Chains A and B, each alone.
Chain A
Amino acid sequence: MAEQLDMSLLNELRDLMDGEFSVLLDVYIRESERQFHEANEAWETGDMDRLGRSAHSLKGASCNIGAVQLADYCAELESAAKQRLETRVPEMLNKVTLELREVRDAVYAVRLSC
């Protein structure tokens, strides 16, 4: 679990958010789901701009909750979309899919310990 999330950052967030820490985690789970879904949809319809924007949003939110590896993959996906590197998109999309699944499990675990 420690590989997916920066625990010291998460602990800071816990202090900062007080009782709303669990809310923040819930929001992240819901929002990351939506953004991931949007990214896939954009790729299927060939809307590279929208793909880039979705990857950007997912990158930002992930970065903020300490999902560093996921944020990096998202950045690469965003960059591939912006530069229209169609051959690179499936590979990055796949990496994001796998990493997001791990992150979400990790967040659930933290959420349960609240």
Chain B
Amino acid sequence: MAETIRILVADDSEVDRLLLSTIVRKEGYEVQQAVDGFDALQMFETYRPQMVLLDAVMPGIDGFEVARRIKAQAGEEFVPIIFLTSLTEADELARCVEAGGDDFLSKPYNKVILKAKLNAMDRMREMHHTMQLQRDEITHHHAHLVQEQEAAKAVFDNVAHAGNLNVPFIKTLISPLAIFNGDVLLASRNPADEVYVLLGDFTGHGLTAAIGTMPLAEIFYGMTQKGFLPGEILREANRKLQGMLPKGYFCCAMLVAFNFHKGTVEFWNGGLPQGVLLRDGQKSLVHLDSKHLPLGIVGDDRFDATTQVVEMAPGDRLVMCTDGIIEARDKQGNQFGFEAFNRIVAGADPRVDIFERLKDAVYRHIGSSGREDDITLVEITMVLPEDLPPPANEQVAESVTGSEEWRLSYELRPRSLRAANPLPLLQHVLMEVPQLRSHAGSIYTVLAELYSNALEHGVLGLDSSLKSSANGFADYYRARALALEDLQGYVRFDFRCEIEAARGSLIITVEDSGPGFDFRSRLSELEHTSRLAYHGRGMRLLRSLCQSIEYRGKGNEVEVVFAWSEEDG
């Protein structure tokens, strides 16, 4: 035995004390005696016995009161108390138990019985002690685990919910089921000042569901900021998740890309509830339905990243949610449902905040039943380009090296035109020039406009006035997809950069294989068109960003000069 167990014998009868002490000592325990209740309490404090043999009937403080005080003082520690009493009166035994007695010993004392009781109590005491230690250990581990999860959540939130979500035209509600969230909401601006928003819902909840968020967020932020197109981002995300997630795990997702200059939204929905687009002060509704498989299910060869484009005028609103809202259950198990969702969205007074109404309705529906799924709700309002908050200024390390005078020619042939988006690459090359970095957004916009004009109107020969009709955008993009399939020709970029001290210019020439157009009459027409016409917007945008635009030849060649000086900032 590692330690001799200390036992206190409290009895006002000296004969009994003497007898008990002798028996207990002979069993290998250490003994101290108390002659009455008051003495017993004092001895308990000074001697710290691990077990107590206690006479119930004593003058002064009786055994019952002593037992109560000892138990209170012992707290979480288990100090067995054996009452010394003749087992004659039932109600007296009951009082012993109520006072905290753990066993009884009756007279005349029998050493075998007492030995058995002491052994049993000692085993109980040790078990209790071990249990207490293990409980403390578990508590400690749990606290540690929670602390680690909280630290991980801080990292996770930085990745999953960072970006420019704190802009006034995007409202969000994200309620995590556990510490981690199976839902993911990402938003970022690309170099052309388009805002990309990705809403995702991973299968499952908690940590398992959150694991896929990291690579998805990395791909989304990285590729958006480099100027990749939505389809390209989705394809990469699908490829990565499909390779990484275990079988049966996937991510329902919806990617929307807002072009504030053109007043359009490009979307792709794979497995999420339909998004609802409210136009013309809520008079017309467009449903952005899921037409694709969620991310992470099929391989790259079978993945369809085709996006759709719809118009979205300033003030129009887009509401998206994960199925947590649709499937939110009340106490009786009834789901909130699509109907309620649509009724609130469609029936809303334009002056009333749809977002707040939906939020209230869902929480009212759930009541105190407790949520089953992660609930994420997003509302985005289209704004005018000038209402966009200025982009966060990325600190670019000053570099004195870098090219100062160079030319670059880059020609895209049919297969490249069909498959690849050259903009990220070109942007990347141009950003090697330190002076151009603070103009990244403008340059990307100029490149994007020039490229889409050369490809769509030049090589593919599409008529941009198609966009003016009611179904214009849909028709236009259908025609574009068709034309791409058997495209012939080329688009060539020529860049010339001239830098002199604090000022410089980038001259971009784009030539396409198309038939050209009557740019002289078109330019004069542009002077008179109303602001709202969709076609021709690109050209106006180019004019606002560039020092000069010059069409040449039969109209299949255009040269723009992008100029800057340090004073511009």
Contact = CB atoms under 8 A, between A and B. Distances in A.
Interface of A: 9, 13, 16-17, 20, 23-24, 27-28, 30-31, 53, 56-57, 59-61, 63-66, 75
B14 A9 contact: no
Given A53-B57, A64-B107, A64-B108, A31 B86 contact: no
Contact of B19 (A13, A30, A53, A56): A13
Contact of B109 (A53, A56, A64): A64
Contact of B14 (A13, A20, A31, A56): A31
Interface string B1-41: 00000000000111110110011001000000000000000
Given A24-B15, A31-B15, A63 B26 contact: no
B240 interface: no
5 contacts: A13-B19, A24-B18, A24-B19, A57-B13, A63-B86
A27 B13 CA distance: 10
A60 B107 contact: yes
A17 B22 contact: yes
B39 to A, nearest CB: 16
Closest 9 interchain pairs by CB?
A61-B15, A63-B107, A64-B108, A28-B15, A61-B13, A27-B14, A63-B108, A57-B13, A56-B57
B59 interface: yes
B56 to A, nearest CB: 9
Contacts of B23: 16
A103 to B, nearest CB: 13
Interface in B64-96: 86, 88
B504 to A, nearest CB: 110
Contacts of A59: 86
Nearest to B17: A27
A56 B92 CA distance: 13
B111 interface: yes
A66 B107 CA distance: 10
A85 B207 CA distance: 76
Contacts of B14: 27, 30-31, 61
Interface of B: 12-16, 18-19, 22-23, 26, 55, 57, 59, 86, 88, 107-109, 111
Contact of B86 (A23, A60, A61): A60
B15 A27 contact: yes
B241 to A, nearest CB: 80
Contacts of B55: 60
B63 to A, nearest CB: 12
Given A20-B22, A75-B88, 4 more contacts: A16-B23, A16-B111, A24-B18, A53-B57
A93 to B, nearest CB: 19
Nearest to B11: A60
A9 B108 contact: yes
A27 B35 CA distance: 14
A53 B56 CA distance: 11
Contacts of A65: 15, 108
B92 to A, nearest CB: 11
A30 B22 CA distance: 19
A53 B28 CA distance: 32
A53 B13 contact: no
Contacts of B59: 53
A48 to B, nearest CB: 14
A17 B109 CA distance: 13
A64 B55 CA distance: 14
B57 A64 contact: no
B18 A23 contact: yes
A20 B26 CA distance: 13
Contacts of A63: 86, 107-108
A16 B22 CA distance: 8
A75 B87 CA distance: 12
Contacts of B13: 31, 57, 60-61
B19 A64 contact: yes
A24 B258 CA distance: 100
Of B15, B19, B22, B55, which is in contact with the most chain A CB atoms at under 10 Å from its CB? B15
Contacts of A57: 12-13, 57
A64 B15 contact: yes
Given A56-B57, A66-B108, A61 B16 contact: yes
Of A24, A27, A57, A65, which is in contact with the most chain B CB atoms at under 10 Å from its CB? A57
